[in-house]
Amino acid sequence: MITHIIFDMDNTLIDEFGSTVRPGITNFLKTLKKKNIHLYLWTNSTKLRAKEILLLHNLHHYFEKFIYREDYDPLNKGMYKDIRKIGGQLLIDDDPAEIQFVTKLGCKGFLIKPYRKNSKAPIADYQAEYDAITRIIHNTKKISSLCL
């Protein structure tokens, strides 16, 4: 079972402006925490922007670790998220290149549909993604925190 999950922020937890939260994500994060799954946030946003958004939407308390742009890509050169560096086993992100990168490392990745402000997607679509992630978590045999 996967016990260490890394979430992207923009278009994954919140919309592109940081003004609205993905439908159902708060309940999903609560469910994962109740199962003693460690949740980390890894974002290409700056620390100042990310902290402001997380506090605004009361999402900060779900996460144990935070990696901001300044921590891994201070020059904004497009560095990929090497989740092995913080013991991550699964990355949930809306960027196909990030998911491809972590899977090449031997880790798991889930490409979530980008959440946009004013999205008209039915809640069932979001729930289907959460259900798919839950299956990955539970159907994965023991996986090293270094993935390989």
Q: For 14-30, how does the pLDDT look when each residue is reduced to its tens digit (9 = 90+)? A: 999 999 999 999 999 99
**pLDDT reported for residue 140:** 75
Most confident of 16-20, 119-123, 136-140: 16-20
Contact predicate 109/80, CB 8 Å:
no
pTM: 0.94
**pLDDT reported for residue 36:** 97
> What's the chain's average pLDDT?
94
- 3-state secondary structure (DSSP) of residue 111: strand
CA distances from 8 to 16, 109, 139, 142, 145 (A): 12, 11, 22, 23, 18
How many whole angstroms separate alpha carbon 90 and alpha carbon 101?
Answer: 12
- At which residue do the structure tokens 């742009």 appear? 69
If one looks up domain 4-139 in CATH, what number appears? Answer: 3.40.50.1000
